[in-house]
Amino acid sequence: MRRPPENTSISTPVLHTRDAEIPWGWIAAVVIPVLLLAPAIWNGYPLLQYDTGGYLARWYEGHLEISRSNAYGIYLHLGQGSYFWINLVCQALLTLWILHLTLRVLNMAQPLRLLAIALILITATALPWLASMLLTDIFAGLAVLALYILVVHNGKLSIVEKISLFLFTSFAAASHTATFGVLLGLCCAGWIVKPLLGPRLQITGLVQGSLTILAGAAMLLAANVFLTGRLAWTPGGASVSFGRMMQDGIVARYLNDHCDKIKLKLCPYRNQLPATADDFLWGNDTIFDKLGRFEGMNGEMEFIATHALVAYPLWQAEAAAEATAEQLVEVSTGEGNTGWIPHTYGIIERYLPEQVKAMRAAQQQHWNIKFTAINWIHVPVALASMLLLAAIALTALWRRRIDDVELLAATVCVALLGNAFICGVISGPHDRYGARMVWIATFVVLIAAARFLASRYGWLHGRRDRNLSTPSL
C-alpha cells in the first residue's frame, strides 16, 4: 500500500479525479457575487434604506450632515451613472475577495470550501442584503476581517494585497463613525495584548493596521474639505447621544433638575418629550422640528448630553451597560428596508430624476420585501453564532494557547462588543447595527467547523488520491 506524502495538510485539500476536473474556482468566482446581489437583482434596483438619501445628497448639498459621511457620499456618486449597480458589484467582489483571503491566510483556501461557506452565509445571514444595499453597513464586517488579515497575517500578503487591504480598511473607517470606532478599538486592543502574544503579533502588522485609522481620518477630512470647504469631522456624536439619553429618561431628569437655573429651549417641553430617540429626531411635526432641528438644537443637545454625563455618572454607566447588552441581541435583518422611506425618495426625485421610474418600479417600493420568515432563520443563527464564537475564544484562554482561528474568533468577539457599545450607547440599540456585524461571527464559526471536519473526517477532501489538488481561487 502506498503511503500518503508526509506534507499533506488541511491547507492543500484534494478531490477525486472527477471532481478535480470541475472548475470550482471559476464557479465560486461567478456564483458567489451573483448570489450576494440576488436581493437587488430580484428587487430590480439597489435596496434603499432610511439613511440612504442622506448619503446620496452629500455630493449635491455642499454641507456637513449629522452622521452622514461625505467619503461614502462620493463613493455613491461615482456609481450614479450606472444606477448604482457598479457600487453593488464592487461590494459583492470585495466580499468575495475578503472571504477568500481570510480562508487563504488560515491555510484553508479551497474553492469548494469557499463556495459551501459562502452559500451558508448567503442563506442564513444578512450578508446578501447588506451587499445589495446602498449603505455603509456592508463595510463594517468586512473591515474587521481586513484589519485582522493586515495585522495578524501581514507576512503572508503580497505588496498589492497589503496596499489594497490598507486602502479598503481606511475607506471603511471613513465611511461611518461607528466603523471607525470599532477599528480604532481593535488596534488599541492589539497593542495592549502584544506583550502577551509576542511574535504572533508583529510590530509591522500593528503599525500598518494603526495607520489605516489615521488614513481613514485623513480621507474623511479630505472629503469634507472637497465637498464643503470645511476642515471638520462629520458632526453628530453628541447630538445622537442626546437622543439615547432622552430615551433613557436622563434628559427629562436633567431638565427637571436644572430648568429653574438654566434657560434652555427644551424646558417648556420637558414633560412632552417622546418615548424614543427616533420619534424625537426623525418623527413628523416633532418638538425637534419646532425648535429648528439640528441647526437650532445642536448646541443645546451637546450641552445637555455633556453635562448630564457628569451629573448622573452611575445612571449613565447602568444605561450604557443595558444598551450594550440589548444591542448584542438585536440582530434582525431588514430594519429600515421598507417601502416607507420618504426622505430617500425625496432625495432621488430631487437630484436623480432620471432614476425615479426605475426606483418606483422596484419590489421594495411596492412593499414586496418581507423579513419575518427570513428572520426565523437569521436571528437564531446569529445568536447561536455569537455563543459558539465566545466558546471558541474562551477555550483558547482556558488552554492558554491560541491558534489563528481562535485569534480570529477573539478579534471578532472584541469587534462585536465594541460595535454593541458604540452603537448601543451613542445611538441606542437597533437591529440594523447588530445585523451588519454579526454575520462575521457566523463566518468564523463556519471556518472552525470546516477545520474540524477537515481534520477529523476529511470533509471536502478526496482520500482516493492525495496527489490531486484543485486550484485556489
CA distance 50 to 336: 6
Q: Give 103's Cβ-side CA count (13 Å radius).
A: 29
Amino acid at 116: A
Q: Residue 50 in contact with residue 137, Cβ under 8 Å?
A: no
**Cα–Cα distance measured from residue 323 to residue 83, given in angstroms and rounded to the nearest whole number:** 38
pLDDT at 19: 54
Q: Answer whether residue 4 shows pLDDT above 80.
A: no
Q: Which three cell numbers stand for residue 356?
A: 425615479
- Across 364-380, average pLDDT: 95
In which band, very low, low, confident or very high, does the pLDDT at 465 lie, cut at 50, 70 and 90?
very low
Residue 189's nearest CA partner among 404, 413, 397, 437 is 413
Look up cell 491560541; give the residue. Answer: 402
Question: In sequence order, what are the beta bridge partners of 47?
Answer: 133
Most confident of the ranges 193-202, 268-277, 353-362: 353-362
CA distance 221 to 231: 6
User: Which pLDDT score, from 0 to 100, does residue 66 have?
Assistant: 83
The pLDDT of 124-151, averaged and rounded, is 98
Count of residues in the chain = 473
Question: Among candidates 62, 70, 68, which has minimal Cα distance to 229?
Answer: 62
The answer to whether the CB of 469 falls within 8 A of the CB of 110 is no
Residue-level pLDDT at 12: 42
464 within 8 A of 16, measured Cβ to Cβ:
yes
Residue ranges of the alpha helices (H) in 125-236? 127-131, 137-152, 159-175, 177-197, 203-228
More confident call, 456 vs 237 = 456
- Mean pLDDT lowest for which of 92-96, 113-117, 424-428? 424-428
With a cut of 90, say whether residue 99 has pLDDT above it.
yes
Which among 430, 341, 419 is positioned nearest to 184, based on CA atoms?
Answer: 419
Phi, psi of 56, rounded to the nearest 5 degrees: -60, -35
More confident residue, 413 or 246: 413
How many other β-carbons are positioned within 10 Å of the β-carbon of residue 228?
16
Say if residue 244's pLDDT is above 90. no
Which one-letter DSSP state was computed for residue 2?
P
Closest to 43 in 3D by CA, of 142, 139, 128: 128
Mean pLDDT across 442-469: 70
Q: In 3D, which of 275, 266, 270 has the Cα closest to residue 296?
A: 266
Q: How far apart are CA 234 and CA 236, in angstroms?
A: 7
418-432 mean pLDDT: 93
pLDDT over 90 (residue 155): yes
* Nearest residue to 141 via CA among 153, 130, 152, 157: 130
The Cα diameter of the chain in Å comes to: 92
Q: How far, in Å, are 28, 85, 170 from residue 176 at the CA level?
A: 30, 21, 11
Beta pairing partners, 65 = 68
Answer whether 250's CB lies under 8 Å from 322's CB.
no
In the three-class reduction of DSSP (H, G, I as helix; E, B as strand; rest coil), residue 47 is classed as: strand
The three grid cell numbers given for residue 216, joined into one nine-digit string: 481613514
Nearest of 335, 334, 358, 336 to residue 348 by alpha carbon? 358
Q: Please give the model's pTM, rounded to 2 decimal places.
A: 0.89
Report d(CA 7, CA 330) in Å as an integer: 45
Q: Which residue has the higher pLDDT, 472 or 256?
A: 256
Q: Are 174 and 200 in contact (CB under 8 A)?
A: no
- Is the pLDDT score of 6 beyond 90? no
Q: Tell me the per-residue pLDDT of 259-283, one tens digit each, with 9 for 90 and over.
A: 988 889 999 988 888 888 778 877 7
Statement: residue 464 has pLDDT above 80: no
| Contact status, residue 230 vs residue 221, Cβ threshold 8 Å | no
Q: Residues 6 or more apart from 216 whose CB is under 8 A from it?
A: 169, 170, 171, 172, 173, 174, 180, 183
